[in-house]
Chain A
Amino acid sequence: MTQPGSAGLLAGQSGDAQGTTAPTRRGTELSMLAFAAGLVTAALMLVEANQNESLTLRIVWYGLAYLALFGVAHVAVRKWAPYADPLILPCVALLNGIGLVMIYRIDLAKAEAALQTESEWENAVPKQILWTAIAVAMFLAVLYVIKDHRTLTRYGYTFGLVGLFLLALPAVLPSVIAPTINGAKIWLRLGILSIQPGEFAKILLLIFFAAFLVSKRDLFIAAGRRVLGVDLPRARDLGPILFCWGVSVMVLVAEKDLGTSLLFFGTVLVMLYVATERAIWIGVGLSLFALGCLLAYQLFGHVQVRVETWLDPFADPNGRGYQIVQALFGLGTGGIAGTGLGAGRPDIVPFANSDFITAAIGEELGFIGLAALLLVYMLLAMRGMRSAVAVRDTFGKLLGGGLSFALIMQVFVVVGGVTKLIPLTGITAPFLSAGGSSLLANYVLVALLLRISDAARRPQTGQKPKPVNQAPIAEAHTVMVERPQ
């Protein structure tokens, strides 16, 4: 299993005290990547066949290009994070590839529709491929620059400030630069590119919270007043959670971005819980959340609309409920096994290639296919969580847990919204949806997770003292590791 490529970098560590080398498992990663590439090529082939396009060697070239792109990422991981988790990159590659195929497939349908109505239609897939390449480059940059995730703690407050700045930026800028698109003011238009700074702010703020919680951990565990038999945290310890609640509500108000605020709030809550192991924080957080929801529902019209369409989308199936009704019809058409790639009509749903891409996939791959993709997401988050459990420093644990949870929370919010489990909030499915910022930010997130998993699985070096020189008995010490009550 050990790779010759990693030998140079780890020459010093290979001969550690135990005399064994931990496997890097990069070979597993490469074969899984090849598997993912094969799957994506097969998907593309099916789409072409079902759309009656000519099946040419072109498809194979696309598949090879895709494999080459992730091959570069693989080589980088092999060089810069040789002990990283072998499953994270293939899962990401598969999701991204299926997303690209799906976006291409919706492009074909939209182009056909545009041809019939003689209207203009811009293909989304070239842009998305470009973004994928940029995102992989970003992924490499993060892996290269951050050699040790613990260095991030030094810039905790800086990251926090920059994150807040980015989060609030679209709200305060004039609408020439920050236009209101689809009812939300979260985009920045820079030349031809539109980016969502909130996506990057999310990761920066997560780093800040992890660093903050590591330094202030004791304060949170210290009990305050006891009210009704529950240890309430002291008021000043409540500061950060109240602050975070305030920020997320502020974002909700100013940018009408329900998804991001929900994601942000939930992730911080989970990090607090991970740091303190006290369920009271969940209670405090959820009650604050309920309060915020009630207030938002009372105050803002667009929240009321969302809730109403969630409760009864068929009340206005051609107006407000149109998106969700079409998504439900799409999922219903797909049924258990789906219509087959390229054989359905997923383009009827608005935003079929971004927010509603899970509905499109559910229609063409059915429950079986969508469940498999959700499992891939779950595996991704699980590997992240596992790295967080195994890593030895507290900051890594908190950051890894937070990032993994943020990823799976995004999936929950978007899939829950599309399937009418929770009110629909505009958020993209990580790696699947069309959207450059989301893709870029999620690749950075995955690079950080890989860095943490590399630290977690790297064999320890020279931590245990060797039993060679025996100290005098007087210096032998008693270590109290654990004492039951």
Chain B
Amino acid sequence: MQLTRAGFLALLWLFVLAALRVVRSDLYAAAGIRVAVPGFRRSAANKTRGKAPRQLVVTHGALAGTRISLDGRPIMIGRADDSTLVLDDDYASTRHARISLRGTDWYVEDLGSTNGTYLDRAKVTAPLRVPLGAPIRIGKTVIELRS
């Protein structure tokens, strides 16, 4: 009699816990849009896809906070009006640098600027692969790629 009483309460809570488990498995999904599935294949796919840069963010300089979404087209940076990122910076050249997609990686190349382009302190002389989050400095502007 007492046992059944306690047993029923335990079952009731078991239901709540089972429900919470379902909630927990959802928590790891990004922003509630996609549901996470436990399993190696899927998470491996997520890992490589998650690392692909999605946007270019200006972290320092007059344009700080600007974001450009990367859709595969090359990003032109410079003072020219037709650049993708138009810099109003005395230290930047008209056509300063280009960030473009080759295969699955993004590369930065200097277009013969006066003051140079720096990828994480190293001067860019030949096209260099840009890792996620590595600062690219052009004049007083610093940009980086983010996923």
Contacts and interface: CB of A to CB of B under 8 A. Distances in A.
Interface in A308-325: none
Contacts of B5: 46, 337-338, 340-341, 343
A194 to B, nearest CB: 32
A483 B66 contact: yes
B66 A372 contact: no
Interface residues on B, range: 35 or more
Interface stretch (A28-36, A121-129, A297-305): A28-36
A366 interface: yes
A479 B68 contact: yes
Contacts of A456: 32-33
Given A390-B33, A484-B64, A484-B65, A340 B4 contact: yes
Contacts of B1: 50, 340
A473 B76 contact: yes
A479 B32 contact: no
Given A39-B15, A478-B84, A366 B71 contact: no
B13 interface: yes
A375 interface: yes
Contacts of A387: 32
A483 B57 CA distance: 11
B8 A341 contact: yes
Nearest to B37: A23
Given A42-B8, A86-B22, A368 B67 contact: no
Interface string B58-90: 000000111111011111100000101110000
A28 B22 contact: yes
B12 to A, nearest CB: 4
A457 interface: yes
B69 A25 contact: no
B65 A390 contact: no
Nearest to A50: B1
B61 to A, nearest CB: 13
Interface string A364-378: 011011001101100
B72 A476 contact: no
Contact of B23 (A379, A390, A474): A379
A4 interface: no
B35 interface: yes
B8 A376 contact: no
Interface in A22-67: 22-23, 25, 28, 32, 35-36, 38-39, 42-43, 46, 49-50
Contacts of A35: 14-15, 18
Contacts of A372: 9, 12-13, 15-16
Interface string A176-194: 0000000000000000000
Contact of B37 (A1, A32, A368): A1
Contacts of A368: 9, 12-13
B19 interface: yes
Interface of B: 1-2, 4-6, 8-9, 11-16, 18-20, 22-23, 26, 31-35, 37, 42, 45, 49, 55, 64-69, 71-76, 82, 84-86, 101
Contact of B12 (A365, A382, A479, A483): A365
Interface string A448-485: 00000000110110001111101101101111111110
B23 to A, nearest CB: 7
Interface stretch (A87-95, A159-167, A435-443): A87-95
A32 B20 CA distance: 11
Given A376-B19, A383-B23, 9 more contacts: A1-B37, A39-B15, A42-B11, A369-B8, A457-B32, A471-B73, A478-B86, A481-B55, A482-B67
A481 B56 CA distance: 11
Contacts of B23: 87, 379, 382-383
B65 A90 contact: no
Given A467-B101, A482-B67, A389 B32 contact: yes
6 contacts: A369-B12, A376-B19, A379-B23, A470-B73, A480-B66, A481-B55
A467 B73 contact: yes
A386 interface: yes
Contacts of B8: 39, 42-43, 46, 341, 365, 369
B66 A376 contact: no
B118 to A, nearest CB: 22
B69 A481 contact: yes
A20 interface: yes
Going nearest first, the 4 A-B pairs with the smallest beta carbon separation are A467-B72, A390-B32, A340-B5, A481-B67
